Chain A
Amino acid sequence: MNEWLSYRLSDFVMFSARVYERQIELYNREFAGLQILALCLAVTMIWICLRRPTLANRIVPVILGLGWLWVAWSFLWRRYAEINLLAEYAAIAFALEGAAFLVLALRKRGVAVQLPSASMSSLALAVIALPLFFYPLIAPLTGSPIAAAEFFLMTPDPTALGTLAILAFSGTRLRWLLMIAPTLWCALSAAMLWTLDLPSSRVLAAALPVVLILAVVRGLRRTSAASSP
């Protein structure tokens, strides 16, 4: 036990910040164009949630499921695992999460997502917009090349954070189960990237508790509303 206490988190991070950013750059170059598709899917997802909630119950889990499977294979398994031994296990977890979303999409009720359209608070708006639309700006705004930008449904950090944000507005009782993998990933990735002094780690570390608190608050409100006479 004492031996384990002597380890620091940085002892387990086996690559440098430059190598991590270069992996994102190479990945973006390899799949150039898909970033636009990913942004379009994110916009579509939000639009359907706001305008076609019944359809969203199936479309959202399908998009999330395919996104998690894509990140598992294209980034974690094929690329990140080259430099991070944990990425292989993460790829399996991402694949299982993606499969879970697809299975849930087949259910009669799908995965209900109720975005607070008319009275959407600025906090709720920020929680959803950050991972889905503004995460790619972190790299260029903090001095990294724009080629190292990370996109929702393309790289694991914004995908996991965005999924948590969407699940925070979900009414399905299974949301807590679905939130385990993205929560663990966000915590692990934030910690690893923090040791490398990467700015995105600060964003991830700050956003994760906000999203989780929002999910808990909304869950309590929903329970309270359901039990009121």
Chain B
Amino acid sequence: MKTNRRDLLKLGVAAGAAALGPLRVGAQETSGPLMRSIPSSDVRIPAVGLGSWITFNVGDDPVLLASCADVMEAFFAAGGTVIDSSPMYGSSQATIGYGLEKLNRSDDVFAADKVWTRDSDAGASQLELSRSRWGVPDFDLAQVHNLLAWEPHLETLFAMKQAGSLLHVGITTSHGRRHGEMEAIMGSQPIDFVQLTYNPVDREAEERLLPMARERGIAVLVNRPFRGGSLADHLAREPLPDWATDIGASSWAQIILKYILSHSAVTCAIPATTRIDHVQENVRAASDPLPDEAMRQRIADHIRSV
């Protein structure tokens, strides 16, 4: 029987699971993307993942499904493993399931999904429906989407984690909303992950949430790194600054991602895309050198000025 990281983690053997390396067959940390540890489990994941909001919501269109699978193939080939979705994202979960089956990657992906329902009792059944759409044995991470009915859902997720059918538990917000409530939960609940919006323009998380995550050993997923594409589109009209080469960036997208990843509390950024070249470019951004504090300020100032 094949033993993978999920099996070991279910048995509580975090160290053994960590020793197996990332959730990807054949991953080499020396040549692949920058890896980050999840503080609560020591599992290491690549610092750039793949979001699925809008981009993977393609219905049953065979042409677009194949196109999404191509993006996933390029993502895995570049060394990525973390894919994030939600029941709120239309057909995105089914698209991911299609891609994983087509690429035979169901055991390799770090599967992150969410619970999104006001019904306190429907969390487990919704997660099971999501899991069947993904076609994975279990989720590596289940998050309470936008803190919706977070108290009963966290209770459900913690029970699932205790029972071994879930590896990590988290909460999410986006667009900089409800940071106060998120901070309160981070201070009172034993969560493994938070997901929030952070980029060189939306920096509110730097004030309290990111320091708190670092202090309490909570992993951080960063959504909307390009503000849903609008930031990257806006910057595309501007020439790349000379200092981009100092941090090994060849595009605005890489500058933004390197800014995000250079915050020590950030575990993984999850940009979404429909393009193979963009997904490759994104994963390549998870590499040294990352900007130091002075360069981070320069990036933020420059982007704000344009």
Residues of A participating in the B interface, judged by any CB pair closer than 8 Å = 3, 6-7, 10-11, 13-16, 18-19, 22-23, 26, 79, 82-85
Residues of B within 8 A of A26 (CB): 59-61
Name the residue of chain A whose CB is nearest to the CB of B175.
Answer: A6
A13 to B90 Cα, complex, angstroms: 11
Task: List A contacts of B228 (CB < 8 A).
Answer: 10
Q: Which of B39-70 contact A (CB under 8 A)?
A: 53-55, 57-61, 63-64
CB-CB contacts below 8 Å: B149-206 with A: 175-178
B91 in contact (CB, < 8 A): yes
Asked, given contacts A3-B177, A6-B175, A11-B175, whether A22 binds B61 with beta carbons under 8 Å apart, the answer is: yes
**Interface residues of B, Cβ cutoff 8 Å to A:** 53-55, 57-61, 63-64, 88-91, 175-178, 228, 274
**CB–CB A3/B178 < 8 A:** yes
Asked, given contacts A3-B178, A19-B64, whether A79 binds B54 with beta carbons under 8 Å apart, the answer is: no
Closest CB-CB distance, B196 to chain A, in whole Å?
15
B178-A82 in contact (CB<8A) = no
Please give the distance in Å from A74's CB to the nearest CB on chain B.
14
Query: With A11-B175, A22-B64 in contact, is A83–B58 under 8 Å at CB?
Result: yes
Query: A82 touching B175 by the CB < 8 A rule?
Result: no
Contact in complex: B178, A84 (CB < 8 Å): no
Q: 19 A-B contacts, Cβ less than 8 Å apart?
A: A3-B177, A6-B176, A7-B175, A10-B228, A14-B88, A14-B89, A15-B54, A16-B55, A16-B274, A19-B57, A19-B64, A22-B61, A26-B60, A79-B59, A83-B58, A83-B59, A83-B90, A83-B91, A85-B90
Closest Cβ of chain B: how far from A16's Cβ, in Å? 6
A2 to B150, CA, bound (A): 21
**In the bound complex, CA of A83 to CA of B64 (Å):** 13
Question: How many angstroms between the C-alpha atoms of A20 and B247 in the bound complex?
Answer: 39
Q: Which of A19, A79, A84, A85 has the most chain B CB atoms inside 10 A of its CB?
A: A19
